[in-house]
Structure 1
Amino acid sequence: MSAVHRANAWEISDSENDESDDIKASSSSSCVILVQNTSINEPNTSSASARADDGGISADGVQISGRRRRRRREEVLEELETRTAAKERRREEKDKLKQKKLQEQLRRKEAAERLNLLKPENFIKSLTAHIHAVLLQDAGCDVLLRNLDGLQWRNRIENQGLPNSIRWTQQALQQTEDEDKNVIEEDQVLMVISHNELEDMVMSHKTVTNQSALIGDMYEGAESLLDHLYKYLTRTAGKVVTILVMISHQQRSGSWDEDDLDLHLSQHHLDTEELLVHLQLYWNVAVHFLFGWQEVTDHVIALTKALSKRPYKALCGDPDLGFCMDGSWSAGVRVDRDGHGLAQVWTRQIQQLNRVSPAMAKAVTSAYPSPSLLLKAYEELPSEEERRRLLADLTVVGGAKERRVGPDLTVVGGAKERRVGPELAGRVHRLLTSQNPHLLLD
């Protein structure tokens, strides 16, 4: 500002000449211009420094504040973190899904292997027949051993347990550290005795039995086969023992057959019958009479095969009514409390008759929606012949007829309307009106 004042002073001075005035004027003007440039640049410098502190200028000249840049940087970082977290979650879900699929595949593989092991042809390989050493004293036991070896079934000779017995064990599917739990014992036990040993058991039972005591009590006395049997059944619960009595070949050749054997027992061995009844009623022990070791071997083989089939049948869950075939038609009909479903039950009842199609059953139930209505219609007719032919003229609609015109070509045409017919009408009449439970409907 002092330079400006001096310039003004020089411009109004009268003591200087024109030349000096021109020089001063020029110098003053230049000074003024310099001062003006300085005065113009100063605020620009201050504003630039202020902008430098507060932000910056973009390439297109738009001013961007520092706070906005920091906010944008935070938003970008937050967005990156969100994307990273979402990607990590997707990766974890994918890994979990993959692990779940692997576990499901492993579970299915184990189930398939277990099912394969439970099949009779494979499960029979895990069965072991334990034969008591007393049976080897009979030379005919070689027939049993040869057949088991020929079938490549595992067998073992032991000297413990019930004398004269044959029992079975199986290897557990899941092996554990405890060896005792790896072997599962079957509940079926065979006791093979001769006819003479049966007589000894009868005498033992007759000797120790007291009429005043309860049947089935244990008695002290000589250790006979009967005593061993009673102790074994008392000690091991859940065992099913079957006694196989072998009739020798001499007895068989001497005109022994089943009828003669029954007659012989009924006439001369009433005590034997008493023993058999006692064993069956109080100990659940069945007695079979067989001729020779070959029939005993056949019985052992049949029982072994039955044991091999039991786990697979239990796994498949056979229904109580094994004769029912699989299919939607064999399933039951749900009946609600309001009676919804009874019409379908009535249709199924007609359809269970032989050679009755669903269309024919539907024709009967459509005309008479309930059995009581059909019975009422029967009662209203005067003669038996009219009752049997009541349903004969009902019209059956539905279904299609197939006609084969070549080895690989079948033409399907529309079905014609037909009648129920007197044959089905008579069967339905017998079904609802007959009082004979043994009457054949066909």
Structure 2
Amino acid sequence: MPAVQRANTWEISDSEEESDLNKPSSSSSGEKKKRRRRTREEVQEEQENRRAAREKQRQEKNKLKEEKLEEQQRRREAAVRVSLFKPENFIKSLTLQIHAALLRDAGCDVLLGTLDGLQWKNCIENQGLPNSISWTRPALQTEDEAKNGVIEEDQVLMVISHNEFEDMVMSHKTETNQQAPIGVVYEEAESLLQHLYKYLTEASRKFVTVLVISHQQRSGSGDEDHFDFHLSQHHLDTEALLVHLQLYWNVSVNFLFGWQEVTDHVVAVTKAVSKRPYKALCGEPDLGFCMDGSWSAGVRVDRDGRGLTQVWTRQIQQLNRVSPALAKAVTSVYPSPSLLLQAYEQQPSDEERRRLLADLTVVGGAKERRVGPELSGRIHRLLTSQNPHLMLD
């Protein structure tokens, strides 16, 4: 009997526990009900937040896309500009302005034929300096100061004959005898020298070169670059004119034999003028401290430190009169600036610190040499000086 009662008691208690387990608690059900309840305003706010986030993401994506397109457009424009400045393309935009007075000499046909063969643009005009050859080109978009969209180059050639040069010598002698002030232009004078003075006074930024054509044979006794003009009695007068033109007007005089040499000179000057814009463009890198011949970002350094030694070498090479071999002689012994600073600290005196690198051997060249005390002292000042305005040389 007691056993039966205990069994019944166990069964009853077990069922009660199950009923208690199956009955959900009021607190848990309340929490679930609270989590399920969301107002319409909260739902709309969440939807608006999601919509705003998507819109912001879309705007950022469009902004990045526009910046990428703008960068590509700038690169294309820069590439087109560089292409226009290349000599082989820039020379096509140049126009040779040939004064009509030069056509009176039959030898000018050599020049015109050569220009036509090279397909260079040229025109005959009757303005500016008589007997002159000058260069013009269309102005770029960045050159707003150009008149009528045309840029005049600063190089001007004045082609004269031997007789015209003699007239210039006599005109200068007459002015000297009259004690005329330098640069005074006489209104009654008809000499080419007076036209030259007047032109240089009005166009101060022009560089004029006078080409004197001689139809006589070269003198076999003297230097081949000089000609025998049979002006022994006027030799001093000729030298006086040349010195006067060079010193007071910055005008040089070249003596050439025939129109073929004049044509060669014109071609050489035209090619030199066409190369100047590209050289100026290459001479202005994005980073002014980068050395010539290196790419705009300098030396590439990997994450593992590869390339730091080359950066250290380039840093020393940026000093004046330091060749790559000299810089390599220093960095091969001291691969980093910190190692060199440690070596300086170990020296007992400032004099020994300054001469620490003097005896290093420079590899390369015709003969063996040392770094020297001068460069050793400059590198010491570079690494140890606390004065930012100190001149290293």
TM-score normalised by L of structure 2: 0.66
Which residue type is aligned with residue 428 of structure 1?
Answer: R
- Partner secondary structure for residue 243 of structure 1: strand
Q: How many residues align?
A: 310
- What CA distance in whole angstroms lies between the structure 2 residues aligned with 1:263 and 1:360? 64
In 2, Cα distance between equivalents of 1:349 and 1:117: 34
Rg larger in 1 or in 2? 1
Partner of 2:332: 359
CA distance in 1, matches of 2:324, 2:148: 54
| Structure 1 Cα separation of the partners of residues 258 and 137 of structure 2 | 28
Residues 265, 329 of structure 1: CA spacing in aligned structure 2 closer, same or farther, 3 A cutoff? farther
CA contact (8 A) 2:312 2:331 kept: no
RMSD across aligned positions (CA): 4.4
> What's the counterpart of residue 264 of structure 2?
298
Structure 1: 5+ residue stretches without partners: 1-59, 336-344, 378-389, 397-422, 434-442
Instruction: Tell me the distance in 2 between the aligned counterparts of 1:375 and 1:98.
Output: 55
Matches within 5 A, 1:245-394: 245-248=212-215, 251-252=216-217, 258=223, 261=227, 268-317=234-283, 326=294, 328=311, 331-333=314-316, 351-352=325-326, 358-359=331-332, 372-373=351-352
- 1:181 shift after superposition: 3.8
Q: State the partner residue of 1:185.
A: 152
Distance 1:217 1:331 in 2: 55
Q: Which amino acid aligns with 2:370?
A: V
Residue 157 in structure 1 maps to residue 138 in structure 2: no
* Paired residues of 1:175 and 1:182 also in contact (CA < 8 A): no
- 1:219 and 1:361, CA in 2 relative to 1: closer, same or farther beyond 3 A? farther
Q: Distance in 2 between matches of 1:185 and 1:147?
A: 22
**Runs ≥4 in structure 1, deviation > 6 angstroms?**
175-179, 365-371, 374-377
Conserved in 2, the CA contact under 8 Å of 1:167 and 1:190? yes
Alignment of 1:104-253 (within 5 A): 104-174=71-141, 180-209=147-176, 212-248=179-215, 251-252=216-217
Give the 3 Å change call, closer, same or farther, for CA 173–195 of structure 1 in structure 2: same
Q: What is the identity, as a one-letter code, of the residue corresponding to 1:146?
A: G
Change (3 A) 1:278 1:100: same
Q: Which runs of 5+ in 2 are unaligned?
A: 1-28, 300-310, 375-393
The letter for the 1-side match of 2:217 is R
CA offsets, 1:4-44, max 9 Å, x none?
A: xxxxxxxxxxxxxxxxxxxxxxxxxxxxxxxxxxxxxxxxx
**C-alpha offsets along residues 150-191 of structure 1, whole Å, 9 cap, x if unaligned?**
111111111111110000011223399999442111000000
Structure 1: distance between partners of 2:219 and 2:202: 40
Instruction: Give the letter for the 2:332 counterpart.
Output: A
Seen in structure 2, the aligned counterparts of structure 1 residues 120 and 350 have a Cα distance that, compared at 3 Å, is closer
The corresponding residue for 1:36 is none
* Residues in 2 aligned to 1:179 and 1:216: alpha-carbon distance in whole angstroms: 28
CA distance in 1: counterparts of 2:292 and 2:351, whole angstroms: 28
- Structure 1 264/357 Cα, relative in aligned 2: closer, same or farther at 3 Å? farther
Q: CA–CA distance in 1 between the matches of 2:355 and 2:273?
A: 55
Shift of 1:350: 11
CA deviation profile, 1:320-339 (whole Å, cap 9, x unmatched): 9xx9765757744499xxxx
Q: Deviations over 1:85-104 (max 9, x none)?
A: 22222222211111111111
C-alpha distance in 2 between matches for 1:158 and 1:350: 52
Q: Could you give the per-residue CA deviations for residues 329-357 of structure 1, whole angstroms, max 9, x where no partner exists?
A: 7744499xxxxxxxxx8xx799529x958
| Alignment check: 8 A CA contact 2:158 2:208 kept | yes
- In the alignment, the residues of structure 2 paired with residue 215 and residue 329 of structure 1 have an alpha-carbon distance, to the nearest angstrom, of 56
Change (3 A) 1:324 1:264: farther
Distance apart, 1:318 and its partner CA: 6.9
- Contact 1:351/1:361, CA 8 A, preserved across alignment: no
**CA drift at 1:118:** 0.7
Give, in angstroms, the shift of residue 265 of structure 1. 5.5
Alignment check: 8 A CA contact 1:189 1:240 kept = yes
